[in-house]
């Protein structure tokens, strides 16, 4: 019975996320698998370092909007004109939720959730990393202690396909363990600041309202 309940909760969370990301709701609040992202761009098929993630609740961030009269603001306005549901603030909030959901799903090896949130290219990399991790008997534990920043830094629109890049600055505890549970790398008592840059994409002509992760990179 517990398994059924947890499965139902997981399904609800996914539906909630894809309905909020970039959508006006009337409410102001909606890593590395991604250690893989540390070495480069997963969507481009670079070498990956698998990680296990255990995120923790984080404090709300102050609301921020891109500065007016900038190319970024102009592109976001174009996107909102083509997609009446789009709102930049709600997108940022949804992207932060996506960040935590994706690294959690990666930690659990939950490929069903990942497939709903990632592009095909990125999903293949995540799936391969999960398989590699399981074969090695290693686990990667990442606790997301909180966020310092989650802001839109880039946006593009070409042939009605929108791409929005968000910069996440988070506080994380990261540890790699071997099959015996011994710490191989990291320190469970040390909090590190980690910067990740993720790009989400959506074809605005599509009836599918979901934005999917198409690229990850890191400035660390």
Does the domain formed by 2-218 have CATH 3.40.50.10860? no
CA distance 218 to 196: 5
| Residues ≥6 apart with Cβ < 8 Å to 149 | 61, 167, 168, 169
CA distance 183 to 77: 48
For the chain, how big is the Rg over CA atoms in Å?
Answer: 17
pLDDT for 44-83, tens place per residue? Answer: 333 333 343 333 334 445 455 666 779 999 999 999 999 9
Domain spans of the chain?
2-218
* Mean predicted confidence (pLDDT) in 118-138: 93
What's the pTM value of the predicted model, to 2 decimals?
A: 0.71
CB 34, CB 216: distance < 8 Å: yes
């Amino acid at each position: 019975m517990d398994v059924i309940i947890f499965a139902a909760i997981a399904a609800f969370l996914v539906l909630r996320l894809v309905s909020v990301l970039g959508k006006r709701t009337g409410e102001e609040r909606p890593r590395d698998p991604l250690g893989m992202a540390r070495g480069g761009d997963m969507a481009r098929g670079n070498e990956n370092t698998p990680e296990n993630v255990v995120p923790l609740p984080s404090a709300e961030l102050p609301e921020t909007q891109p500065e007016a009269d900038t190319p970024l603001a102009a592109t976001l306005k174009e996107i909102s004109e083509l997609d009446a549901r789009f709102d930049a603030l709600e997108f940022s909030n949804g992207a932060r939720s996506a960040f935590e959901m994706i690294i959690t799903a990666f930690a659990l090896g939950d490929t069903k959730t990942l497939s709903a949130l990632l592009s095909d290219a990125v999903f293949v990399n995540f799936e391969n990393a999960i398989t590699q991790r399981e074969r090695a008997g290693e686990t990667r534990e990442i606790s997301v202690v909180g966020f310092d920043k989650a802001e839109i830094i880039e946006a593009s629109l070409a042939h009605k396909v929108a791409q929005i890049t968000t910069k996440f600055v988070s506080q994380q505890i990261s540890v790699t363990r071997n099959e015996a549970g011994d710490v191989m790398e990291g320190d469970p008592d040390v909090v590190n600041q980690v910067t990740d840059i993720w790009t989400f994409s959506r074809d605005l002509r599509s009836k599918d309202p979901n934005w999917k992760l198409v690229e990850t990179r890191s400035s660390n």
